[in-house]
Amino acid sequence: MDFAGRTGFVSAGVSGIGLGIAQALGLAGMRLALSYRNEAHRDQAAAWFRDKGLEAPLFVKLDVTDRDGWARAADETEARFGKVHVLVNNAGVSVFGPTDEASYADYDWIMGVNFGGNVNGLVTFIPRIKAHGEGGHIVNVASMAAFISGPQAGIYTASKFAVRGLTECLRYNLAPFDIGVSLMCPGLTRTNAWDSALKRPEGFADSGFAPADRAELERFATGFDLGMDPFEVGEKTLAGMRANRGLILTHPEHGPDIQEIYETTMAALPQQEAPEGRLHIERLRREANRQAAAGKVIALDDLT
């Protein structure tokens, strides 16, 4: 798809990775609506677009867990720009702690933003993109945590695994409508994501984790200073969109992790022959996936 002149909506698009993607899309000629929570970040983003001589984005204040807010944001975007062709679900919180100590509130908050925020964006915008019939593209921003787990990131990792699975399936569903779908998994990026725990909403205060320690988090933040520039992440995201890649990986340093995952997975497979009946079903599934990727609508009858 030629993205010049098209309209895109980027959630949490005024700082960090969201802004990096918005900058890349803006320089590619797109008209943009960017959601925000922080007015200072909004003003800084507006200044960047102004200094580059680009069309001013529409800035929409939005809590991505607010479904009515999403509907209003979509209405405002269409009122300003007309048809929306691109959705980038970027908003997320990076909150860590021992998974075995997590409370319901920890699960509800992190999953509600990182997975539920994506769901809200999809349910809001997919019908609108399908309705105009001109195709489009959806990017769900996850993380390398969609592949790599760790002892301090259980719920965060679960949310990113969920986004990965949803995105991979959605790509098959939307191919018949000429709507590309990409999962973008960045690694360490120079953002302020480290301070999410300091912004915990009051409604989710009953945490099983130890209270957030600013000094500890600021030490943790020094690692983010070594991260990739968000604009580079944005440029790589745009390149993946232009190529309609289902998976966009931005950081080359994760090769050893991917190799280990592959080898561990292959080693876990039983070394025995499967019966022909089961093999037949799996052949049908693989062929259905190939047909879906090519634009065919798949029904349950295609799987048996």
Model pLDDT for residues 215-235, shown as the tens digit of each residue: 888 887 888 899 999 999 999
Q: Mean pLDDT across the stretch 104-130?
A: 98
Both 198 and 281 in one domain: the answer is no
- What range does the domain containing 280 cover? 270-304
Q: Residues 83-103: pLDDT tens digits?
A: 999 999 999 999 989 999 999
Give the chain's domain count: 2
**Any domain includes 123:** yes
Both 225 and 276 in one domain: the answer is no
Both 189 and 287 in one domain: the answer is no
Catalytic residue among 104, 107, 156, 262: 156
Q: Does 156 qualify as catalytic in the annotation?
A: yes
Structural tokens at position 250:
């931005």
Q: Which long-range contacts (CB under 8 A, 24 or more apart) does 161-164 make?
A: 162/111, 162/114, 162/115, 163/114, 163/115, 163/118
Both 295 and 154 in one domain: the answer is no
Q: Residues 207-218: pLDDT tens digits?
A: 999 998 888 888
Both 42 and 111 in one domain: the answer is yes
**Any domain includes 81:** yes
Both 178 and 245 in one domain: the answer is yes
Both 178 and 66 in one domain: the answer is yes
pLDDT of residue 240: 98
Query: How far is Cα 260 from Cα 238, in angstroms, rounded to an integer?
Result: 28
> Could you give the percent of the chain with pLDDT greater than 70?
100
Both 99 and 168 in one domain: the answer is yes
Cβ-contact 236, 182 below 8 angstroms: no
pLDDT of residue 127: 98
